[in-house]
């Protein structure tokens, strides 16, 4: 029963702060709401016995990504909130209809597949007497080592690529200034 209560508190906080991202008009408030949502999802990972992922979620998402977003807001000086565009018109009701349809399809599929899930007898490779983080790292560095290396390469490419994009824009601007 206590687990149910913890789950419902954390889940409702996740959903409320996600709704905050959608509904706040000022982008900086959306960003702070996103931080609350990410921290709550990290707590959810803790209750799911995934302590390592919870700490990674806190460090990478709630730390790095959120600070990056807020720093971009600071750099770009975006202090004009959007006009309230949620009027109940044809377009908005169409969007709400599509979102509601998708939500009901997703939940129905989840319920149908959970029957399938309980009849599924896949490989079970968590041993309860060992630490989950230890098992995760053992499997990560043996079976999934190639993916791990590819992710490292991807991060290098991203670093080079984003610098190149900024450089491209700068040179294009310089050219247009020269031609004027």
Partner 1 sequence: MIPNETISIDQYLALSALVFVIGMMTVVVRKNLLVALMGIELMLNATNIALVAFSKYNNNIDGQIMVFFIIAVAAAEVAVGLTLCISLYKQYKTLNVDDYRSLKG
Site for partner 1 in 150-179 (CB under 8 A): 151, 154-155, 158-159, 161-162, 165-166, 168-169, 173
Which class for 34: exposed (0-12), middle (13-18), buried (19 or more C-beta within 10 A)?
A: buried
Verify binding: residue 74, partner 1, rule CB under 8 A.
Answer: no
Q: Which of residues 15-44 bind partner 1 (CB under 8 A)?
A: 15, 18-19, 21-22, 27, 30-31, 34, 37-38, 41, 44
Site for partner 1 (CB under 8 A): how many residues?
81
Q: Quick check: 63 and 40 in contact, CB under 8 A?
A: no
CA distances from 90 to 87, 93, 124 (A): 9, 5, 50
Which of residues 84, 90, 116, 125 is near partner 1 by CB under 8 A?
125
Q: Quick check: 34 and 66 in contact, CB under 8 A?
A: yes
Q: Which of residues 40-69 bind partner 1 (CB under 8 A)?
A: 41, 44-53, 56-57, 60-61, 64-65, 68-69
């Amino acid at each position: 029963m206590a687990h149910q209560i913890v789950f419902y508190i954390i889940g409702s906080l996740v959903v409320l702060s996600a709704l905050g991202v959608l509904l706040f008009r000022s982008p900086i408030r959306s960003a702070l709401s996103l931080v609350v949502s990410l921290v709550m999802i990290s707590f959810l990972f803790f209750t799911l016995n995934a302590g390592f992922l919870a700490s990674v979620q806190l460090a990478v998402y709630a730390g790095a990504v959120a600070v990056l977003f807020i720093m971009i807001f600071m750099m770009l000086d975006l202090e004009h909130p959007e006009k309230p565009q949620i009027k109940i018109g044809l377009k908005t009701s169409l969007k709400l209809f599509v979102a509601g349809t998708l939500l009901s399809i997703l939940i129905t599929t989840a319920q149908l597949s959970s029957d399938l899930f309980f009849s599924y007898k896949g490989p079970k490779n968590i041993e309860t007497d060992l630490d989950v983080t230890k098992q995760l790292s053992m499997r990560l560095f043996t079976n999934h080592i190639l993916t791990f290396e590819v992710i490292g390469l991807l991060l290098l490419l991203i670093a080079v690529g984003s610098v190149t994009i900024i450089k491209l824009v700068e040179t294009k601007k310089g050219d247009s200034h020269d031609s004027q």
